[in-house]
Amino acid sequence: MAIRRIVQYPNQVLKERSREVSKFNDRLHKLLDDMAETMYDAEGVGLAAPQVGILKRVIVVDIGEGLIEVVNPEIVERSGEQIDPPEGCLSIPGLLAEVRRAQWIRLRGMDRHGKPIELEAEGYLARAFQHEIDHLNGILFLDVADRIFRPEEETDR
């Protein structure tokens, strides 16, 4: 495993749509392992492959309940609305944003071996998945934010 460099805004790769993964091989496994190590090293809760310069539909998420890897993720159902907590992004340090997200989602994708998986998530986990899947579509939290602010301004909300 290796820690990869996290791509920083305004790098154009963050605005591009990622390609579907069709090969479930050692290269994909290394990418997933490296992404997890990179996310933990940066003290993040999620990371999408474009954030390490790879335009593949791959995400890792861990909100403190264990690592979840999803290849070719797709939200197939959503309900409710949440705006808290504010979101940050490893590719856009120093900014937070209020972003309206679904409170609950159903997600389909594949595991690292190409086996279909389906997950349900609510609250913070649902928020993290939605944020990372947006990255795969070239959407940044800045693009969908109701309000953008610096961490020191959070008490002003």
* Residues 6 or more apart whose Cβ sits within 8 Å of residue 113: 24
Helix (H, G, I), strand (E, B) or coil at 126: helix
Average pLDDT estimate for 38-57: 98
The alpha carbon of 102 is separated from its chain's Cα centroid by a whole number of angstroms, namely: 15
Domains in the chain, start-ordered, CATH in brackets?
12-156 (3.90.45.10)
Q: Are 37 and 2 in contact (CB under 8 A)?
A: yes
> How would you class 2 by CB atoms within 10 Å of its CB: exposed for 0-12, middle for 13-18, buried for 19 or more?
exposed
Instruction: Give the active site residue among 87, 120, 132, 153.
Output: 132
Identify whether 93 is preceded by a cis peptide bond (ω within 30 of 0).
no
Which residues fall in the annotated binding site?
A: 89, 131, 135
Tell me what pLDDT residue 153 has.
85
Which residues fall in the annotated binding site for Fe cation?
A: 89, 131, 135
Tell me what pLDDT residue 1 has.
82
Helices and strands in the chain, H and E counts: 3, 7
Average pLDDT, the chain: 96
For 48-107, write each residue's pLDDT tens digit: 999 999 999 999 999 999 999 999 999 999 999 999 999 999 999 999 999 999 999 999
**Token pair belonging to 149:** 């602010």
Calpha distance 101→17 (Å, rounded): 20
Average pLDDT estimate for 130-141: 98
Calpha distance 47→54 (Å, rounded): 11
Active site residue 132: yes
Q: Over 80: is that where the pLDDT of 155 sits?
A: no
Q: Are 100 and 81 in contact (CB under 8 A)?
A: yes
Average pLDDT estimate for 6-15: 98
